[in-house]
Amino acid sequence: MVGHPKSLSDLYRVEAQVRVTCRGCKATEIWELDMLIPEVRRNGGNTDWRAARAAIKCPRHCPAPLIDLSPIPFGKQRARRRAHREALVNLALQVLRKAADRSANEAVGTIEVRLALHVLRPFVRDSHLLIAFWKAATSEPRHPWTSCHLPYRWIAERLIERGVPIEDANRP
């Protein structure tokens, strides 16, 4: 795509999202086209690219908004990829959490746990946390104090520090 489109509906071809930025207060929002076009029409605007700016309100509702629109080509694909990554991380954490719950009574060094640790490796970026979980999962003989709860907490906290969205059930 070279330059701006003629209308908002032209962006459907490249599965775009639109970044709405207020020049006055520097607030930014990313809109899906399915939500933006009805919003422009509801505010009495036209879906022409240049005219649509006047029909969009500031994300922070400032009194005198000066709105800029920026297309984000293939934004839906990026959003889908991000959602898949979040689901993958939460599924891996669920496997580790369930293993940590069983770890006080039995060794939980299974292939599922190895796979979950492998999935989390690029997100945690700290291999000693993952190694600590694996060592706790495979230690013999089992004692109540050799569970995987502490290494699980370290992994989950590191993911939270790095800004990875974690479901409430998987939080430490």
Q: Does residue 119 share a domain with residue 159?
A: yes
Which amino acid is residue 143, in one-letter code? Answer: H
What does the pLDDT average to over 156-171?
Answer: 91
Residue 38, in any domain of the structure: yes
25 & 46 share domain: yes
Domain that includes residue 152, residue range: 78-170
**How many Å apart are CA 30 and CA 71, to the nearest integer?**
9
Q: Which helix (H) or strand (E) holds 28?
A: strand 28-32
For residue 54, the SS3 value is helix
Query: Residues 97, 103: contact at Cβ < 8 Å?
Result: no
Residue 84 has pLDDT above 60, yes or no: yes
- Rounded distance, CA 34 to CA 19, Å? 14
Between 143 and 100, the more confident residue is 100
The more confident residue out of 132 and 71 is 132
85 and 62, same domain (yes or no): no
**Chosen domain end from 22, 46, 73:** 73
Domain shared by 33 and 60, yes or no? yes
Exposure string for 52-72, b = 16+ CB within 10 A, e = fewer: bbebbebbeeeeebebebebb
Confidence of residue 79 (pLDDT cuts 50, 70, 90): low
**Could you give the number of structural domains in the chain?**
2
142, 118: one domain: yes
Residues in the chain, overall count: 172
Question: Is 3 a domain residue?
Answer: no
Examine the domain organization and report whether 24 and 83 are in the same domain. Answer: no
**Can you tell me the mean pLDDT for 57-76?**
80
- 166 and 82 fall within a common domain: yes
- Of 28, 54, 73, the residue that ends a domain is 73
Q: Is the pLDDT of residue 119 over 60?
A: yes
Coil, strand or helix at 69: strand
Nearest to 171 by CA among 156, 159, 149, 150: 156
The percentage of residues in the chain with a pLDDT greater than 70, rounded to a whole number, is 92
